[in-house]
Every structure is written in C-alpha cells, then in structure tokens.
C-alpha cells in the first residue's frame, strides 16, 4: 500500500486524469443506460473529437513554452476553405491539395511565430489578431457560401475505416489482431524500460504492481479494440492520431528539441544562457501549431464533406481546455502529449455524455468551464504544496 501511495503521488497529474476519465465514463454509462460505451457511440466519439485532439497536441507545445494560440480554430477554417477551393473548384488531386494545405498552415504559423519570437509581441495579442484575420479571410474566400462535395477518397480520411483483410463478418478480425500486437509491443516496451531502470539502479515499482499495471494496459487495449471491432473496426483517423501521439511523445521525451522546449517554458532566461536558441525554438513551435491546425481543418472538412464559413468555431477553447485538464501548467514548462490526449477525451466524453442525457448547451458550457477552472486550481494547489 505504501508503494502504491508513493507511485500515485509521484505521478499525480498522469494518474489523476486517467482516474477522472474512467469515473466520468462510468457515470455517463450509468446515466445513459449503457449507450455511452456502445460500439457505434465509441466510434462516433473518436470521429467527433479527432480534430480537437490534433489541435491539443500542437497546443501542448505552445503552452509548454509559456505561450497561447487563440487563432487555431480560424486557421483550421481558413485551410479547410483553401482545400475546398483547390480540390472542388480547381480539381487538383486531393493528395497534392493536402500537402499544399499543410504547407500553407506552416506559413501561417511562421507568420505568427515571427511576431511572437522576433518582434516580441505577446502571443495572446498576435494570435487574437490572427483569429480575427483568418476568420475574416475564410468568409472572404468562401463569399459566405459552403463548398462541397469532396471526393470520396478525401472524405475517407476522416470517416473511413481500415478494411478487414480476414473477412470476419460481424467482428472486424484485423482490429482484434492489431489490439493483440499492440499489447505485445507495449508489454515488451514496459519490460525493457524496467530492466533499463534497474540496470542504472533507479527506483522501480514492486513486481506485483508492475504486473498489475501490465494486465490493466493489456485489458484496456483489447477491450477498446474489441468494441471497435464490433462495429466497423479501426477508423482511419485513429491511425493518424496514433502516429501523431507516438511521434510527438518521442520528440518531447527522447530528443534534444523536446528538452529545449521544456527548458524554454521552465525558465526562458536560464534556457538562453544554457545555449538554447529560444527565439528559433518559439518560432518553430508556432510553425508546428500552424501545420497541425491545417491538419485539423482538413479532417473537419473531410468529416463535414464541406468547407463552411462557420467551421472551427470554439476549436481553440476546446484545445486549450484539453491541454490544461490534461495536466499542463498555466505557467509553462510542464505537460505531456498523453496528458493532452486524456484531457481531450475527458472533454469529448463529457460533451457526448451530456448530449445523450439531454443536457442543454448552456449547462454543458457552464460545466466544462467549471471543470477547466478546477483543473487549473488543482495545478496551482500542487505547486503551492510542493513549494
């Protein structure tokens, strides 16, 4: 029990939000008479929140560096409009249009990153201006009208599923196999990390707790993949999200760039004295945010099968809330990719669950606001307690 208590206290941000997510899911599973965790609803939950989770990953890096980006919803809408013009109006092949749209998102991020990093205008002001600018440009290029429809191939990015090569009928066999393979990979990775920590005489959790952790991971993964397999299998967008999570987790935890981003957010002056090129790092963080905002806009347009002037409204608020609920610090320097994803899932499950029980949008907004406030208050409480 003492070891378990020590483990939880050492990872209170990570485990606290996982426990909160599980409790919220159990609550709404009861309140909705079992509808929440039905295969169809779980799949819809992934599809509906995919673009917010993509934004949350980029927003995490921005917030870790001590900045904020209020423009991501408008940038997503603008890039969605640009992609519609390229694909629908100009008949450019959609793979080429996707690459051009992502490059355009990077240019938007570079524009804002320049003002923040080199001119030293506060990011709040720069991105607030960007929010107004790109929302206005979206209305200009669309002329107040929606553009549709997109080709089936483009739509499948956000609403398609990986095919079942084994033809399992009612159960998507390939999804079950992927779940088993992913379980083996994660168990091997956890075991190798434990052996490495022991080799260097770092503290590790007791063997029974480690075994219990592995059993829990395997159970959750295979239960999740079974639920997906009972409907249509793994959505294409889930593959995109998985790749993003793996790549950004590796970058933030295992590379020099990741360590520099954390150092920049922790103490910019100290980071600069340590040799970190703080201006360049800030610039590239905003470029990255622009690319991910563009990807989010493409995913939303593909799911909606149209580019509309109202796309992306409040995306920035959901992304920021997901990052803070997921354990990032309001003062920068702290946060994880997995935490941002969990925070986004908390918001998504709450939105979905409250809609299923018939709660009005007014109450939904109020409850989400209180959850965000409590998450930041919890962060401040922990900091004060530690100091």
CB within 8 Å of 44: residues ≥ 6 apart: 352
Question: 376 is written with which tokens?
Answer: 């930041």
Q: Is the peptide bond before 149 cis (omega within 30 degrees of 0)?
A: yes
pLDDT in tens, 98-122: 999 999 999 999 999 999 999 999 9
Q: What share of the chain is helix, strand, coil (3-state, %, to 5)?
A: 75, 0, 25
- The answer to whether residue 2 scores a pLDDT higher than 60 is no
| pLDDT confidence tier of residue 135, bands split at 50, 70 and 90 | very high
pLDDT in tens, 273-306: 999 999 999 999 999 999 999 999 999 999 999 9
CA dist list (Å): 216 to 25, 178, 182, 223, 278:
17, 17, 14, 10, 40
Residue 331 CB neighbour total at 10 angstroms: 13
pLDDT in tens, 172-194: 999 999 999 999 999 999 999 88
Q: What is the DSSP string of 358-374?
A: T--HHHHHHHHHHHHHH
Distance CA 315, CA 354 (A): 18
Question: 277 is written with which tokens?
Answer: 């090129």
């Amino acid at each position: 029990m003492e070891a378990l208590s020590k483990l939880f206290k050492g990872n209170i941000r990570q485990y606290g939000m996982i426990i909160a997510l599980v409790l919220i899911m159990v609550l709404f599973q009861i309140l909705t008479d079992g509808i929440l965790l039905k295969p169809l609803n779980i799949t819809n939950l992934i599809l509906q929140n995919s673009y917010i989770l993509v934004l949350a990953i980029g927003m995490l890096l921005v917030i870790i560096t001590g900045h904020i980006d209020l423009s991501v919803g408008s940038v997503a809408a603008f890039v969605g409009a640009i992609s519609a013009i390229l694909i629908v109006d100009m008949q450019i092949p959609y793979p080429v249009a996707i690459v051009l749209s992502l490059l355009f998102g990077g240019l938007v991020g570079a524009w804002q990153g320049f003002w923040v990093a080199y001119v030293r205008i506060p990011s709040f002001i720069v991105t607030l201006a960007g929010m107004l600018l790109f929302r206005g440009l979206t209305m200009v290029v669309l002329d107040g009208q929606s553009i549709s429809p997109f080709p089936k191939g483009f739509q499948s990015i956000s609403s398609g599923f990986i095919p079942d090569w084994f033809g399992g009928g009612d159960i998507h066999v390939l999804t079950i196999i992927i779940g088993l393979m992913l379980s083996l990979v994660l168990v091997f990775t956890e075991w190798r990390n434990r052996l490495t920590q022991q080799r260097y005489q770092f503290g590790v959790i007791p063997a029974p707790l480690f075994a219990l952790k592995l059993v829990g991971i395997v159970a959750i993964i295979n239960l999740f993949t079974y639920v997906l397999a009972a409907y249509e299998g793994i959505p294409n967008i889930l593959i995109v999200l998985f790749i993003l999570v793996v790549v950004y987790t590796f970058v933030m935890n295992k590379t020099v760039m990741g360590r520099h981003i954390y150092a920049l957010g922790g103490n910019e002056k100290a980071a600069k004295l340590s040799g970190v090129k703080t201006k360049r790092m800030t610039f590239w963080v905003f470029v990255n945010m622009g690319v991910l905002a563009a990807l989010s806009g493409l995913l939303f347009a593909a799911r909606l099968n149209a580019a509309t002037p109202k796309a992306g409204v409040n995306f920035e608020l959901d992304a920021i809330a997901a990052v803070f609920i997921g354990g990032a610090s309001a003062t920068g320097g702290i946060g994880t990719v997995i935490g941002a994803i969990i925070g986004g899932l908390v918001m998504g499950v709450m939105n979905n669950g409250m809609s299923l029980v018939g709660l009005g949008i007014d109450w939904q907004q109020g409850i989400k606001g209180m959850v965000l406030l409590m998450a930041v208050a919890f962060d401040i409480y922990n900091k004060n307690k530690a100091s």
